[in-house]
């Protein structure tokens, strides 16, 4: 039976990893715009996820500007899959 | 936020984190729906570079036509022409992927696999079929058929890429993955070496 992952249980953090699952890497600014959060909030979540090994980040350059690219790791994708499965089981149980 | 009392910080962060879509954090269905909407919002906002599919069709047609000519022509000129075709294709593919990343601020390995490798069934079948027909036509010196097969292969390849794009927009998480850039580069080098070997051995 799948288990809820406390690290991505917070709705905002679940949104970060779910959104990242649509791409291989996203620029920090792109992710911030899609999630409609501030730099500091996104940075806080990305740091926590990176510390757990769920995301990786690297510095890059886009249109002459220094940027940060973020992507889900294999562990992050697996954690998301497990967490979503656990949530669906909860939903099924309620139904 | 050093000037804020500690008790205010969580509530402020909570407001900053809130999405425009109403959600109830205690309701798993709502939490999942909001997360899915964020993912769909990202996928729906992605744009392909202008003229990507026509450019891809043309580049594949050039590569197919030059490869067929190169295989049929056992001289150094044939090798040069075939390698020039590969260079045109790789140049268009690299430029398209660079533009996609610059326009959207994201990298999608699934798209790279479709463009560079023609990873979908439609693209693969179109390419292999067209390559066989073009090579046969080149050995028979039926050059109009080489051109026709190359164009058909290019159009089929681009059509396969377009189909993948629609599938990706419908379910981005299922189609985002693909070969990594390192694997793509390795395969590109291997393809070039294979072509050279084929031409030299022929």
Residue A84, domain CATH: 1.10.10.10
Q: Helix count (H) and strand count (E) of chain B?
A: 9, 1
The 10s digit of each residue's pLDDT in B107-154 is: 999 998 888 778 778 888 899 899 999 999 999 999 999 999 999 999
pLDDT reported for residue B201: 59
User: Is A24 in contact with B108 (Cβ distance < 8 A)?
Assistant: yes
Residue of chain A minimizing CA distance to B178? A24
Q: How far is A71 from chain B (nearest CA, A)?
A: 9
Give every CB contact of residue B147 below 8 A, 6+ residues apart in sequence. Answer: B65
What is the gyration radius of the CA atoms in chain A, in angstroms? 14
- Which of the residues A13, A17, A18 would you substitute to probe the B interface, choosing the one with the greatest number of B C-beta atoms within 10 Å? A18
Q: Are strands A55-62 and A25-27 parallel, antiparallel or unpaired?
A: unpaired
Sheet containing strand A55-62, strands side by side: A55-62, A65-72, A25-27, B106-107
Say if A60 falls within a structural domain.
Answer: yes
ipTM of the complex, rounded to two decimals = 0.90
What's the domain range around A87? 6-94
User: Is A24 in contact with B176 (Cβ distance < 8 A)?
Assistant: yes
Q: Where are the alpha helices (DSSP H) in B73-108?
A: 76-104
Say if A40 falls within a structural domain.
Answer: yes
Say if A1 falls within a structural domain.
Answer: no
Residue of chain A minimizing CA distance to B38? A19
pLDDT reported for residue A91: 86
B130 phi and psi angles, rounded to 5 deg: -65, -35
Say if A43 falls within a structural domain.
Answer: yes
pLDDT reported for residue B68: 92
Q: How far is B94 from chain A (nearest CA, A)?
A: 16
DSSP type of residue B119: -
Say if A51 falls within a structural domain.
Answer: yes
pLDDT reported for residue B3: 37
A68 touches chain B (CB under 8 A): no
For B180, other C-beta atoms within 10 Å of its C-beta total: 13
pLDDT reported for residue A30: 94
pLDDT reported for residue B195: 67
Residue of chain B minimizing CA distance to A39? B16
Q: How many domains does chain A have?
A: 1
- Which of the residues B4, B41, B43, B173 would you substitute to probe the A interface, choosing the one with the greatest number of A C-beta atoms within 10 Å? B173
Q: How far is CA B21 from CA B35, B50, B145, B162, B165, in A?
A: 10, 32, 56, 31, 27
Do B184 and B112 contact (CB within 8 A), yes or no?
Answer: yes
| Residue ranges of chain B with per-residue pLDDT less than 70 | 1-25, 179-181, 183-184, 195-202
- Nearest by CB: A19 against B29, B42, B109: B42
- Nearest by CB: A36 against B19, B102, B106: B19
User: Is B104 in contact with A14 (Cβ distance < 8 A)?
Assistant: no
By C-alpha distance, which of B135, B120, B132, B142 is closest to B56? B120
| Residue ranges of chain A with per-residue pLDDT less than 50 | none
């Amino acid at each position: 039976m799948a288990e809820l992952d406390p690290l991505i249980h917070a709705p905002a953090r679940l949104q970060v990893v779910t959104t990242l699952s649509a791409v291989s890497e996203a620029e920090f600014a792109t992710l911030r715009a899609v999630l409609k959060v501030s730099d500091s909030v996104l940075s806080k979540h990305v740091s926590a996820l990176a510390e757990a090994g769920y995301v990786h980040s690297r510095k890059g350059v886009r249109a002459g500007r220094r940027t940060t690219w973020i992507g889900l790791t294999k562990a992050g994708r697996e954690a998301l899959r497990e967490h979503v499965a656990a949530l669906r089981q909860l939903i099924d149980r309620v139904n | 936020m050093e000037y804020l009392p500690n008790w205010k910080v969580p509530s402020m962060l909570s407001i900053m984190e809130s999405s425009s879509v109403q959600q109830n954090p205690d309701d798993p269905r709502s939490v999942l729906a909001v997360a899915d909407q964020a993912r769909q919002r990202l996928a729906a906002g992605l744009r392909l570079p202008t003229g990507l599919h026509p450019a891809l069709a043309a580049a594949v047609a050039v590569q197919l036509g030059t490869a067929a000519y190169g295989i049929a022509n056992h001289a150094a000129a044939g090798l040069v022409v075939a390698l020039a075709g590969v260079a045109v294709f790789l140049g268009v593919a690299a430029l398209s992927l660079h533009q996609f990343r610059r326009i959207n601020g994201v990298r999608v390995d699934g798209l790279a696999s479709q463009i560079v490798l023609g990873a979908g069934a439609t693209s693969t079948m179109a390419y292999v079929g067209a390559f066989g027909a073009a090579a046969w036509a080149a050995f028979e010196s039926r050059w109009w058929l080489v051109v026709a097969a190359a164009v058909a292969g290019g159009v089929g390849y681009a059509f396969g890429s377009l189909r993948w794009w629609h599938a990706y927009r419908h379910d981005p998480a299922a189609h985002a993955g693909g070969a990594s850039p390192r694997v793509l580069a390795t395969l590109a080098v291997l393809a070039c070496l294979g072509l050279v070997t084929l031409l030299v051995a022929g």
